Amino acid sequence: MRSRERRTAQRAYGPTPLQEPPTLPDITQDAVVVVPGIMGSALYDRVDQRLVWGLRDHRALWSPARSEPNPLRLDDADREGAAVRLRPDGLLRVAGWMPLLKGLEPYRELTRAVGSVVAGPAALLEFAYDWRLSVTVNGRLLAREARRHLETWRGTRAHDDARRVRADERPARLVFVAHSMGGLVTRAALAHAPDLALDTRAVITVGTPFYGSVKAAQMLNGDRGAALPGGAPAWLLRRLAHLARGLPGVHDLLPAYRCVDEGDDARRLTAADVGALGGDPGLADEAARRWERLHGVPLPGHHAVVGVAQPTPQAMSLSGGQVRPQYQAFETHGDGELVRTADGMPARRARHGDGTVYRDAATLGGPAVHSVPGQHGALVANNAVLADIRAALTAPDEGLGPPMGDPHVGLDVPDAAAANSRWWLRLVGETALGSDVGLLVEDATTGRPVARPLPQWRDDVLAAPVTLPEPGLYRVVADTGGAAPLTQLVLATDPDADAPGRSTTGAGEPA
C-alpha cells in the first residue's frame, strides 16, 4: 500500500491495534464442598411447614414468654440420624444469634467467594446438615454427598474445559472449606470413607475446635455459673442449657485438652464433670470416644485459618456444679507434662483466640496455619479470610500462602445487652491503637447504621459507650486499619423480659 493510501486508511479506521494475548481466568477445576459450623444450617419443620432455625427474627425462638417447648429439642430416637421432623434447609441465610456464641454471620459471602473461583456453579456443593446430631452421623452423610458431588462434577463439560488449561491437566479432586464444627464433620467423613482422602486435595478449616471449646461447657452450665457471661440474661442461658444438654453435637464440642484448673494441677474434663455441670454424662462419654477415634485421622493438605487476639475462655474451674471460665491456657512440654513455674505451680499463658475457640485448639500442628484477628462467627465474612480461601483454592497443590493480618487487636463486646441501656465496648490487645479507630453499630438485618460510637481511653483501655435503641440483632464494626474490620453481633434484649410475674421458661423447662 502506498504511503498516501496507508494514511487515508489510518484516518478512516485508526491504527491497527496490537492483539492482546489471551488471559485465562484464575479458577480451579476442583469440586468444592462448603461445610458450615454448628447452627450454620437452617432447619425446617416438615410437619408444621416452617423454619425453626434460620429465622430472620431470633426473638421468636428465644422469647422468655414461649408457651411451647423449644422446637429445636432432639428426641432420643432421633440422635442416630433418624430425625424425620426437622430437615436441613440450606446454609444460614440471615445473621443468627445464640447465647455465649456471640452471633453467626450468614454464609453468603463465603459461598460467593468460593463461587467466584470455581469453574462452574455445579462445582460447588453447600452441605447443610442437622447440627444437633453428632459429628459422626453428619460425617457419614457428608462422605456420601461429597463422593456423589465429585463424580457428578467430573462428568460435566465445564470440568473438562477447566482441566484442559491447567498445567497438569489432572481431573478434579475435592476441596473442603469448613467453618467451626464443619471441620470436625469433614474429619469424620474422611474417617468413615478412607478412600475419600485419596480424592481430596485440601481441607481448609476456619475456626475449627479440634480440641473443643470451654464455651460448650458454659452452654451446658446455663445460668449456674458464678457470673453470667457476656451480659446474657439468666432466662436465655437457662433456655439454652435445657436445649444443649440433649444435643450430641454440643457434647462433641467439649474441650478434650487439660482445661480443668485444680490449683496445683490441671486435668481433662470427665463425663462425671459434665453431668455435674448440667450436661449428659452418657453423651459426654460417647463424644469422648468419638474424639479418640477421630484424633489420629489426617486432613489432606490441611490449611487452618485461626482467629486470634480476641478474649477467649481457655480453661475453667469447677465448684459445686459451677463453671468459672479462665482466660489463660496451661502450657505443656513435648512429653505432655505441665510446664511449671519456679514455685512448682502450673504455668499459665493468655493465648487468646476467636472469642469461642482458643488458638491452640484450632490447629493440628501443621505448617499451614494462618492467623487473622476476628471473632468466631464473623470469620466467614472477614475479607482477609475470604481472600485467603480464594488464593488457597486456586493455588498449586502445595504452598498455600503466608500468615494474614495484624494479630494484636481484639474486640470485646457482650453477647447481649438490654435495649436503651448504655454499655461499653473495649478494644484490647498488645498493639497501641490510636483514638481515631472507626466504630460503627448497624442493624444486622438491614445493614442500616444506627450509631457511630466515639472511642476514648477509659481505665487505660480504649473503649466506647454504646446504647442499642430497641430489641433486635446488631453488628458492631471496628475499623482498626488492618486487612479487614473486626465485627461482632450483639443481641439487644427487651429490658422488661425479666419483670416480676412474667414466665421466664418454656413449658416443661426447669426453673
Q: Which of helix, strand or coil describes residue 382?
A: coil
Is a pLDDT exceeding 90 seen at residue 30? Answer: yes
How far, in Å, CA of 90 to CA of 140, rounded? 18
pLDDT at 5 over 80: no
Q: What is the pLDDT of residue 227?
A: 53
Mean pLDDT of 182-192: 97
Task: Give me 162's grid cell.
Answer: 477447566
Task: List 338's β-bridge partners, or say none.
Answer: 332
Q: pLDDT, tens digit, for every residue of 263-288?
A: 999 999 999 999 999 999 999 999 99
What would the pLDDT profile of 452-477 be if each residue is shown by its tens digit? 888 887 777 788 899 999 998 999 98
Q: How confident is the model at residue 52 (pLDDT cuts 50, 70, 90)?
A: confident
Per-residue pLDDT of 356-389, as tens digits, reads 999 999 998 776 788 999 899 999 999 999 999 9
Asked whether 205 and 305 are in contact (CB, 8 A), the reply is yes
Whole-number Å distance between alpha carbons of 80 and 184: 17
Q: Which of 36, 92, 77 is nearest to 444 (CA)?
A: 92
pLDDT tens by residue, 31-50:
999 999 999 999 999 888 98
Sheet of 315-319, strands arranged across? 266-267, 260-261, 315-319, 322-326
What is the 8-class DSSP label of residue 291? H
pLDDT computed for residue 64 by the predictor = 57
Which pLDDT band, with edges at 50, 70 and 90, does 224 fall under?
confident
CA-angle at 99, arms to 75 and 414, nearest 5° = 175
For the chain, the structural domain boundaries read: 31-407
Nearest 5°: phi and psi at 412?
-110, 105
Q: For residue 95, what pLDDT band results from cuts at 50, 70 and 90?
A: confident
pLDDT tens digits, one per residue of 113-159: 999 999 999 999 999 999 999 999 999 999 999 999 999 999 999 99
Judge whether 491 and 235 are in contact, CB under 8 Å.
no
Percent of the chain residues past pLDDT 90, beyond the cut: 52
Which of 496 and 90 is assigned the larger pLDDT? 90
